[in-house]
Amino acid sequence: MTRHAHRLGVIWLFLLGCSPVLLAASQGDAQVVTTGSLFEEMTDMVRLASFPRPAFRTVQFSSFDRRSDVPGGPNWFANSDGFGGEPIPNFEKVLKAPNAEGVGEYLVADVAGPGAIVRLWTAAISGQVRVTIDNAETPFYEGPADTFFHRPYDHFSQMQEIDRDRFDRTVYQRDASYAPIPFARHLRVVWTGNVKQIHFYELQVRLYDEDASVVSFRASDIHDSREMIDRVTLSLADPDRNIEARSQKETELFDLSLGPDEQKPVVRLEGSQAIEQLSLKLTGKDLDKALRQTVLHVYCDDYPWAQVQSPVGDFFGAAPGVNPYQSLPFTVQPDGTMVCRFVMPFAKSCRVELFNGGEQTVRVQGSVLAMPFDWDDHAMHFRARWRVDHDLIASNRAVQDLPFLLAQGKGVYVGTGVYLMNPCPIPTPYGNWWGEGDEKIFVDDDEVPSIFGTGSEDYFNYSWSSPDIFIFPFCGQPRNDGPGNRGFVTNYRWHILDRLAFQHSMRFYMELYSHERTPGMSYARIGYHYARPGIMDDHQALMPADLRLLVLPENWQPAARMGAGNSVFFTAEDIAVDTRMTRLEQGRLWAGGQLLVWTPKKTGDTMSFQIPVDSAGRKQIHVALAMTPQAGRIALWVDGKSLAEVDLYRPHRTLLRTIALEPLELTQGNHTLTLELTHPPQDAAEAQIGIDYVGVQKK
């Protein structure tokens, strides 16, 4: 029996053993699960606040390294997980040994009982898959594995009736798909390919109680549910405009001033209700400090410790600072207004308080919208308790499991936010990547994780340690300073359709597994969840040292290692030919603590740099440039040859990115790099083009 087969056996024994309770829950609702009902769940924030009916568990099948079989054992941090040629094939079972061409047949998942695929992900996967529902003779899908894991509904002609652009931005999110695929009796997924080739994958499945009523997916569901699908994707595309509040009550406004070390109540609500929406906006002399050092407390039903305890900025998912983004549960607007749509129910009372743990006075404006809520035996409190580890040593050798949530009780896990300060000086994703590690989620009686990931970026629905800023309804990276993944980095993932229900325990860990030993890392995180009264967790009260404002290391210099190996770096101001239209800007984001800012006056203006090359050969020039609201579009030339054009304009953010130019055969001696302004910035009176450093890499 394979490890995962044993795991599924434990799951079904658990479900059968608890069947009287689970049956009561499912019979109380008697809800039939369909493709349409699963789409409806994607935006139903109120539903999250009650334990699922019909009951289910969510498990994951993935290409994790099968040597990781004993928690804490010798191979617990093994990391051969989909590149090809793994010591053990990354599948549940070998069905057919490889033929003379190296092509074999492998079992991805074999699930009995009612269920639903609720998430698919791949970085890249070769080969073919065959997906069968309810033991049908004709596969539900048979074709390229990459298409199935990225865009499974594209296989069906009925998608012509759907707003495809919106579907592609909301149901398909970065490298993941949330297109639901329910099945009544059975699911089987088989991969055919060469295990020496790439095959990263994750497949998440809900396993319902065996008596749950589930209608299996048919292609006609897309046609039959097209109005629901369009309504859901419209809400996901812009929840601020398209999700209407259920409450008919008046919004309660507040405006207060918090002095240092002062805690004040914002609002108190009585009776059985729920906070449907909470909005906050902070102002202070140093806004970044205010957002980290002002702590939000939400106390439900007079519990002595708040169910929500978090720095305000971190709670809303885009810290540090104001990084505008919009997701289903949270929005951060450019003016600093932050909105939470996670519903917070309570049986008797709720009070919202704010504490100023900093040294400056902070003004807080905001609002609370309450809604009626019938507290019953399935209702749960919303919980979000921030934790941080400062001065960590990240490593690729001394890998460690960081706890996100360790809880005893009954509840549902609904989201994750991570907030890192990564001081690694290597200026490339291959080198300064912090998230090689897997998520490991133990639910209830798991002896090994029922959700075992393949890398931190994979958990957050992207791949290849990408430094891109991206924002989707359920996942995103609203901050990543750069270059590569250096600096402040923020990731979020909301478990809405793929929420993780637990009957009596949840243990969520994420490996801290970096490309190289990196001292001085700070790693904050929140495990957002709902829970029935009586839950106990490992939360510790926040201390002043936890809330200290973090700064990047002073005077960092790009290191010529790993992805930046065989490189020589030059600061821009040292190799500039003419500095008359330039100035130096100070800041810890920039190499050496300063940035050369060129201020061209009109389109077509140019600036040149003399780059010394010590030996002839094939070289690649890398130009580190600032992306800001004041930047525009530029062209880059080397020795009169046009090599690239790049748009440096980024609203609301300041990023440092390295532009890799086409490799060239260069002679020994000086070569000329020229920048030309081709389009001015959209919203600035003057173009400001920041050039940090130039690297020459031997290829």
Q: Is the pLDDT of residue 344 over 60?
A: yes
**pLDDT band for position 252 (50/70/90)?**
very high
**Is residue 661 one of the residues assigned to a domain?**
yes
Examine the domain organization and report whether 176 and 198 are in the same domain: yes
Examine the domain organization and report whether 309 and 410 are in the same domain: no
**Is residue 156 one of the residues assigned to a domain?**
yes
Cα(256)–Cα(261) distance, rounded to whole angstroms?
Answer: 15
Examine the domain organization and report whether 89 and 105 are in the same domain: yes
Examine the domain organization and report whether 124 and 185 are in the same domain: yes
Examine the domain organization and report whether 366 and 384 are in the same domain: no
Question: What is the model's pLDDT at position 29?
Answer: 52
What does residue 268 show for φ and ψ, rounded to 5 degrees?
-130, 135
Examine the domain organization and report whether 409 and 535 are in the same domain: yes
End-to-end CA distance of the chain: 48
Give the pLDDT mean for 661-670. Answer: 97
Examine the domain organization and report whether 620 and 665 are in the same domain: yes
Q: Tokens 């002095």, residue?
A: 259
Could you tell me how far CA 362 lies from the centroid of its own chain? 30
Examine the domain organization and report whether 537 and 443 are in the same domain: yes
Q: Which segments of 66-224 does DSSP mark as H helices, in order? A: 145-150, 164-170, 220-224
**pLDDT band for position 22 (50/70/90)?**
very low
Q: Which of the listed residues 187, 212, 237 is the one where a domain comes to its end?
A: 237
Cβ neighbours of residue 416 closer than 8 Å, sequence gap 6 or more: 404, 459, 492, 493, 495, 508, 525, 526, 527, 528
Question: What is the model's pLDDT at position 685?
Answer: 83
Give the pLDDT mean for 204-209. Answer: 98
**Is residue 547 one of the residues assigned to a domain?**
no
pTM: 0.94
Question: What is the model's pLDDT at position 35?
Answer: 98
Examine the domain organization and report whether 486 and 574 are in the same domain: no
Could you tell me how far CA 655 lies from the centroid of its own chain? 19
Kindly state the helix (H) or strand (E) to which residue 315 belongs, with its residue range: helix 312-315
**Is residue 198 one of the residues assigned to a domain?**
yes
Examine the domain organization and report whether 277 and 149 are in the same domain: no
Q: Is the pLDDT of residue 41 over 80?
A: yes
**Is residue 216 one of the residues assigned to a domain?**
yes
Q: Which amino acid is at 292?
A: R
Domain with residue 503: its CATH number is 2.60.120.1390
Examine the domain organization and report whether 535 and 589 are in the same domain: no
Cα(386)–Cα(373) distance, rounded to whole angstroms?
Answer: 26
- Among candidate residues 195, 213, 239, the one with its CA nearest the CA of residue 63: 195
Number of domains forming the structure of the chain: 4
**Is residue 311 one of the residues assigned to a domain?**
yes
* Domain assignment of residue 41, given as a range: 3-237
**pLDDT band for position 156 (50/70/90)?**
very high
Give the pLDDT mean for 73-88. Answer: 96
**pLDDT band for position 682 (50/70/90)?**
confident
Q: Which of the listed residues 212, 237, 262 is the one where a domain comes to its end?
A: 237
> What share of the chain has pLDDT > 90, as a percent?
95
Q: How many CB atoms lie within 10 A of CB 670?
A: 12
Examine the domain organization and report whether 419 and 365 are in the same domain: no
Which of 15-29, 162-176, 202-216, 374-388 shows the lowest per-residue confidence on average (mean pLDDT)?
15-29
Question: What is the model's pLDDT at position 24?
Answer: 33
- The chain-wide mean pLDDT, for the chain, equals 95
Q: Which segments of 162-238 does DSSP mark as H helices, in order? A: 164-170, 220-224, 226-237
**Is residue 548 one of the residues assigned to a domain?**
no
**Is residue 73 one of the residues assigned to a domain?**
yes
Q: Which of the listed residues 373, 405, 423 is the one where a domain comes to its end?
A: 373
